[in-house]
Structure 1
Amino acid sequence: MPENYSRGSLNAISYLSYYFVGALVSTLGIVLGPLCAAFHKDPSFIGQVFTLMNIGMFVPIMLGGLLMKKWGLQKPLAVAALLTLVISVALFAAPTLTMFSVAVAVIGACGGIFMTIGSYLVVRINPDEKSRSSSLIFTDFFFSLAGATLSFLLAWMFKLGASWMAMYAIMGALGVLMLLLVLRARFPSAEAQPHDARHADAAVAEPWGMSVWLICLALFLFLLAEPIFTMWTPGYLQSRFAMLPEQAALYTTVYWVAKAIGLFLNQFTVKWMKLRTFLLICTLVGMASVTLITNSANGTLILLACGAFGFFNSGLFSGLMSYGSLQVSRSSPTLISALLTCGTVGTLLFASVSSLVNGRFGLHGAVNAATVAYGLLLLTLLAAVLRSKAERLHQTAAAV
């Protein structure tokens, strides 16, 4: 029997979930300077504080499968949205370093809930391989849209003299919007119902296989490389090329705009190109681009490479999520949670790892940590494609 749920509202919730997390992660490089000035701390210290946000995000993602099975899909989203609003108001009432540390941890946890359930909703309402890949890529478009819009908006606001708290006023407003969407939506059950008992037994017994774990590692490396790049590139460009902050912000804005464009277009690309081919091409071009960005002495070439990196990097996260979910015949909340958990370990570690590298090797070393992580991502993806079961499983399913 078909389930009664509001597909339009669920898609909107998924889009806003990714926009929310994109707003948190993609603006770190922009908000870093105002935070350092406000609290009289160096960038390495504030980078370590942002580790609290990543820890907060990691915990609900790690427990996402259990969370959805126990409380369903609507209740955790509503609680996270309300909590975002409350903590944003509390931060305005007491804008201290201690309160900021608590706030970024709590808002990070809310973002983790949004991202876990938002990702599962897309997989849950799109069982077909091509529609799932296309929908996940379009959902990820909103992550990049947050980077493209908020990087520009915040750079402009800070230039006009706005406080760092402007960022968290935006997060509170997003929490209100999420709460309104969640309360009016009709949700499906947390688990897709198998057609019969035989399918149910197969879903329980089916092993994930090495390909799933390799894709988990690839997601980890991707979510280690990208935030290192976005966090340290503005400061690196200011240091190397004596740029003003708003000039350096242009480079990351170009990255996010190109990524948003790529995500919008790539939802169509994956409908006529094999997903594994799409992933390999994007990773190869991304590797070449990030190498240029972090090592070229030509500012114009770096700007062009930022655009290429954004465009070809665009479909990797959602493409890897889709490819991982297709390694089994029936995806579950536990599998989606495992893919996100392994990926989020990269987000959890990037601030600490890159801050340590910055302290030891300087800004050039910090941005090149992204290059190293991307090279490992390419090798891991090649191994995952060689061990993949997705093509065999879903060709068989299509034939049946």
Structure 2
Amino acid sequence: MSALHTVKVDGEARYDILIGPGLLGDARIAHTLRGKHALIVSDANVAPLYADRVEAALRSGRPALHVARYVMPAGEQEKTLARFCECLDALAALGATRDAAVIALGGGVVGDLAGFAAACWMRGIDVVQIPTTLLSMVDSSVGGKTAVDLPAGKNLVGAFHAPRAVIADTAVLRTLPARELRAGLAEVVKYGAVFDENFFSWLEAHASALVAGEDAALAEAIARSCQYKAEVVSRDPFEHGERALLNFGHTFGHAIECELGYAGTDRDALNHGEAVAVGMVLAARLSAAVGRAPLSDARRVETLLQHLGLPTAIPAGLDAPALLARMRLDKKAVAGGLRFILLNHIGDATVVSGVPDQAVLEVLRAG
């Protein structure tokens, strides 16, 4: 194994993010565990590919470990309270004690649901995040946000529960479907847009290499994205301040996902990363519409996303007032109304409350 990157997350909950090829079969996975029980949580797409390898690594490092699996159907539509309860039932059947661990092996859906189960079982046990998509490597596996969806909205039931470790095996990205790779790149763009114009420029220069899945470019993008998120999470673990900047594009994106019914597996629908890509374009346009950022920055965001093969327009048939209504129920809304993450310029963003509904509606209708 070579090219191992380690990103340290500090703050109240300290843990390491390991990034590199070949980590799924490495015994250091077992070294993260404290007790005698481990539940591997995965989905029907990922488990056949990687669960045996992870279990073998666990047993190699801890021969006396009791290991079980909970494999859920794949897809955002499965991130429900019913699947969450099945995961808890699997922990009960394993006899998981307070020092047990949940091993979240999969993309963001698995990571969110497994992390929430770990947060709730006996009021909180360890979770080790092993993300298998680019999107989950650079976003959902880091920072301790866990949740399931309700029909009324995305991620409305959840908890903050920091992982014990994050282990990102970059080799799995070589077989990731092209659409899923592009979806992850949307979250990578987010970090450049809100934190670092130099990184945004680097992404513009390396867009073709990233879309082609070149190992060196992806490893650099993952490590830098995780470093940005680790720094913010260590300072603001519960999203009371600057961590909200990580939601750039998400207020719009989550509303689009919810209106589409989380049907991101359908060819004509949008998955999470695609919805966030559209949301970032809308947020950048709103930034210009309210006079915070130049329109040229919105065009620059849109152009980069298009070069990465991501959608930049609201799907046909979605109603602007209905999307606005969804936003009002979004978990990022506060008592005073909607909050948006808006650009001052690329590399610098801020949380803005009190944006007029009419301005939002105009952006949605033009989107």
Is the shorter-chain TM-score for this pair beyond 0.5, marking a shared fold?
Answer: no
Structure 2 length as normaliser, TM-score?
0.31
Structure 1 length as normaliser, TM-score?
0.29
| Bigger RCO (CA 8 Å, 6+ sep) | 1
Indicate the structure with greater strand content.
2
